[in-house]
Homo-oligomer: A and B are copies of this chain.
Amino acid sequence: MAKLLITGFEPFGGESINPAQEAVRKFEGRKIADIDIEVRYLPVVHGGCWTKLEGYIKEVKPDIVISVGQASGRLDISLERVAINVDDFRIPDNSNKQFIDEPIVKGGPVAYWSTLPIRNALNSLRASGVPASISNTAGTYVCNHLFYRLMDYIAQDNQNIRGGFIHIPFLPEQAAKFPGQQPSMGMETILKGLELIIKACAA
């Protein structure tokens, strides 16, 4: 019996919803493949997102942590492979702060690998007809920031926790506001994908 903490970010960048928050919400109170799921929501704020997540990890004591974020412009579910130690924000975060080329953790390693089973998850997603890729960059915004802090925390003295980050596309209702410009993925495909990822973690 394992415990999973799954998080979704709040809206940012002018959007009124965040598909990550909408999607993880649907897992509240659920159990999948013998994994108990706890759901939490995080602010798109440098620093603040990790303070919150650290608190939730201490509260929930999960075996697995999956953080989910929105990636506009992406076509598919992106299984992030690596978090890098840099904040380089194209737009300010929700607390109106912006960072250019600054380390997330001074003196920290350049990067951390995801410790989720991303290859198995990828195979499972594709076999089930869910568009998915292993991504080699989680960007340099708050998503990558949170991902790096999480993996740094795990690397310190919590190596029994497996963690990682998943990016998902816009929902159709978000893309509808950018005619002909933004790809999207329907909620049912996103949910099917996240469930397969959780099952891959259980295997």
List A residues at the B interface (Cβ < 8 Å): 75-76, 81-82, 84, 86, 88, 100-101, 109-113, 119, 125-126, 128-134, 136-137, 139-140, 171-173, 175-177, 179-186, 188-189
Q: Which of B86, B110, B130, B188 contacts A109 (CB 8 A)?
A: B110
Copies in the complex: 4
Those 8 A-B pairs whose CB atoms lie nearest each other, nearest first: A186-B186, A129-B173, A111-B111, A183-B183, A136-B137, A137-B137, A110-B111, A131-B175
**Known pairs A84-B82, A112-B110, A184-B185; A179 contacts B140 (CB<8 A):** no
A interface, by DSSP: helix, strand, loop or mixed?
loop
Q: Which of B101, B137, B172 contacts A130 (CB 8 A)?
A: B172
**Residue contacts A-B, CB under 8 angstroms, 24 given:** A76-B175, A81-B86, A82-B84, A109-B109, A109-B110, A110-B111, A111-B111, A126-B176, A126-B179, A129-B171, A129-B173, A129-B176, A130-B172, A130-B173, A130-B176, A131-B176, A131-B184, A132-B179, A133-B180, A136-B139, A136-B140, A172-B186, A183-B183, A186-B186
